[in-house]
A and B are shown apart, each in its own frame.
Chain A
Amino acid sequence: MPESASTYSSQVDALYFYLSGVTIFFTLLISIVLIFFVVKYRRRSLYEIPRPIAGSHKLETLWSVVPFLIAMSMFAWGAQIYFHQYRSPKNADEIYVVAKQWMWKIQHSTGQREINQLHVPVGRKIKLIMTSEDTIHDFYVPAFRMKADVLPGRYTTQWFEATKPGTYHLFCAEYCGMNHSGMIGSVIVMQPTDFDNWLSGNASQQAPAVAGQQLYESLGCVSCHGARGEGGRGPSLAGIFGRKVFLTNGQTLTADESYIRESIENPGAKLVSGFGPIMPTFQGQVSPEQLIQLMAFMKSLQVTGPQPATPAAAPAPGETSPRATPNAGTTAPR
């Protein structure tokens, strides 16, 4: 078995053992019965004809229903684990991953950047927000039993909580061209104090939120969305993540990374109700990493004061983004 180093890896292993047990059981059962019949009922005389046996509804039912029930047990258990794997917990630390042929670019929300390595502390929930610059890749850490495709033009997420310090393989698990097998690295899990040491030793890089603020100003977002994201000619951005947004076409959605990215690249696609189609498109002007910095900045914005009116039930003022984390903040880089 590979190392088991995350909170759900042992659950996956337990289910795997169950599946293996059932498989070995039925394989042995069929094989033994087969061999037994083949020996016991071997042909004794050249033209003998055994008595025909037509079938048995009882047996057919038995060996349809029993496998079906076993299958359902596998399904239910597997689905339960899967739910757990893909529902990222709300208070997880966020780490951004940008995949490109053939390397992993990783950025912590405190600003540290890594290439092909990911340092994380033991016992903390980590959520990866991932996108690709080119083809589809896949972020796979066997020791955590976790894997998810990384797509261009979209954000995918997965989460984990490491339970054991150590260095574990990181593989790209979606074929992406020439150096696919070279697109590997390590996840380095450290004790919390060691991790803090590593962090401070690796600082002197700008937190993405700070870089995002600079972009926010230089690209002119301030003029419509306000210096602190309070809104104006454009909708407010403070506290936007996780908030319900009402669109001009009558639909409602919950704002997430993909919605923000789409609105930056194609502003008219999902226009907020009450606002006109005046935002220009920034497609091609903002790289995936810069998008991440802008979003980190937006996540750091606190909701202050009254919101510009948006029709129908708006979230209560003062409600902060559920994704506000201890590390991300508008304070200076450490």
Chain B
Amino acid sequence: MQAPETFETPAAERVNYLNAQYGLKSWLLTKDHKRIGLLYLGSISFFFLIGGLYAMFIRLELLTPQGDFLSSATYNKVFTQHGIIMVFFFLIPSIPATLGNFLVPLMIGAKDLAFPRINLLSWYIYLLGGVITIYALLAGGIDTGWTFYVPYSTTFSNSYVIATGAGIFISGFSSILTGLNFIVTIHTMRAPGMTWFRMPLFIWAHYATSLIMILGTPVIAITILLLAFERLAHVGIFDPANGGDPVLFQHLFWFYSHPAVYIMVLPGMGIISELIANFSRKNIFGYSFVAFSSLAIAVFGFLVWGHHMFVSGQSVYAGMVFSFLSFAVAIPSAVKVFNWTATLYKGSISYDTPMLYALGFIGLFTIGGMTGLFLATLGVNVHTTDTYFVVAHFHYVMVGGTLLAYLGGLHYWWPKITGRMYPEGWGRFSALVIFVGFNLTFLPQFIAGYLGMPRRYHAYPPEFQVFNVLSSAGASILGVGLLIPLVYLIWSMRYGKRAEANPWHLPGLEWRTPSPPPTENFLVTPLVTWEAYEFAPPEELRVIGMFKEDESLEDADAVINGKPL
């Protein structure tokens, strides 16, 4: 491995993590967290496309009230598989495994994550789980709904339940290992001077997410195991004929799957904090409140699973407890939204693509979050649960929330990851298309749901058709909007304008190293003496450790931490 240059060289000749080694083996056996992040980026995009294809089939079928495009059995598999792929193979790993893996060491000034080989292992485990699940889909698919409720999934479904369960079980370990890696890294590998409260909020968000990953994922693992054994051996753990309880499955399943949605959204919120602060050049208003909100959401998120079961036969008193706690968990999210908005006050706001995604997130997450309150409200939940109201709610937070944050973060850090800029005009255009298409797809579903259209319906009464047609029209716009970035981002990797180390002129540690970074991230170990969002003029935001031709050794300190002492 060549030594990195400490004198400025033209970007095209500089050694960085992308060109340090060539060859398939150097990628497949890499220990570099940045390369692993890219490996994940590729595989996660692949699964997103598959999940998106299933979505397309759903919306095509639902254009007409009759079940005339797909057979009932096929449709049931299509919506099940859309959910499974999107939840387990896209939403849960997306931000942590791509952007988190790439950025966590950079943002805290470390050379890599604590356990690089475990990091690579987690990618292979994710792939193995994905391959097994794809095998199950190709062999015939699964039709239980992504929630696998018993006794349908144990006794009545004639589909590949165990194979799919095996795929999800295995990929869960990928999640656990990623979370473990992040926690240990954040605790033990921060650069000198990087105290907890100087860390970017992206790190706080990933720390909170990792707590959920390690505490929650093992529970879904054992739940899937019990489900598989029940299906194989018919012992009766969930079967009422043998004294078992089908509602027990729901408790076990949702004990993980509710915190899982916070695994999906917390990293997104972390990205939004970065985007809002950096594109308005202001410290996040109420930094410590936002940091603690992430932790509060992680903790409270484990206490609310019963709000998925208000009509499932659990006691009325249990319902009241879960409803109360579900309102409590909403408050930290509201606090974040207010803090982000307040950050913009008297800021210096630019309209770059990442900022557009961040602003879209705030609006759409507000709607998604507040419709969650409808569902936390007991009396209304009875009417709206298991209808399209729920479908609309979670797509607002998952797509309007997490996906928008993911795209915003991808654009924001694209110059750092690839050393190239994306085309800004296309970026803004597709952000707009996505925003319009998304709202047209899912806003009508709230109405359809309250009018009574149940979810997972292959055919529906004709009075719901108008909403479904609007929704499908929106979906086609959304689909096009999502394909455009795929095209121009790949294009930009070869033809995009070369980016400098700090194209946005920001103080974060990840911007104080070349774009793309060298394999060991920094030229020298940084010494952090500044706060998380302490903006400064560009000449003070130099690459750490990189000297100009005519600089003397007395300037060394200024170069090492980039600020005059």
Contact = CB atoms under 8 A, between A and B. Distances in A.
A85 B286 CA distance: 42
Interface string B316-360: 100110011001101100110111011011111111000000010
Interface string A157-189: 000000000000101111111111110100000
Residue of B152, B283, B376 with most partner-chain A CB within 10 A: B152
Between B241, B282, B382, the greatest number of chain A beta carbons within 10 A of the residue's beta carbon is seen for: B382
Contact of B316 (A56, A86, A283): A86
Contacts of A52: 282-283, 533-535
Contacts of A34: 341, 344, 359, 362-363
B367 interface: yes
Given A50-B281, A75-B327, A147 B316 contact: no
Interface string B173-194: 0000000000000000000000
A41 B454 contact: no
A49 interface: yes
Given A85-B379, A177-B152, A2 B538 contact: no
* Max count, chain B CB within 10 A of own CB: residue among A11, A43, A146, A283: A43
B312 interface: yes
Contacts of B348: 41-44, 48-50
10 contacts: A12-B379, A34-B344, A34-B363, A41-B280, A49-B535, A53-B283, A82-B320, A85-B379, A171-B452, A175-B145
A35 to B, nearest CB: 8
B345 A26 contact: no
Interface stretch (B120-128, B160-168, B383-391, B519-527): B383-391
A79 B346 contact: no
Contacts of A172: 454
A75 B322 CA distance: 10
Given A1-B451, A19-B377, A50-B346, A148 B67 contact: no
Interface of A: 1-2, 8, 11-12, 15-16, 19, 22-23, 26-27, 30-31, 33-34, 37-38, 41-44, 47-56, 59-60, 63-64, 67-68, 71-72, 74-75, 77-87, 101, 134-136, 138, 140, 142-143, 145-149, 151-154, 156, 169, 171-182, 184, 266, 283
Nearest to A265: B241
A30 B341 contact: yes
B247 interface: yes
A49 B539 CA distance: 13
B241 A30 contact: no
Interface size, B (range):
35 or more
Contact of A72 (B327, B342, B450, B535): B327
Contacts, number: 279
Contacts of B456: 175, 180-181
B219 interface: no
B257 to A, nearest CB: 15
Given A41-B347, A178-B76, A146 B382 contact: yes
Nearest to B534: A52
A27 B370 contact: yes
A59 B345 CA distance: 14
Interface in B359-381: 359, 362-363, 366-367, 370-371, 373-374, 376-381
A37 B240 contact: no
Contacts of B374: 16, 19, 23
Contacts of B386: 138, 140, 147, 173-174
Interface string B240-276: 1101001100000000000000000000000000000
B282 A50 contact: yes
B456 to A, nearest CB: 5
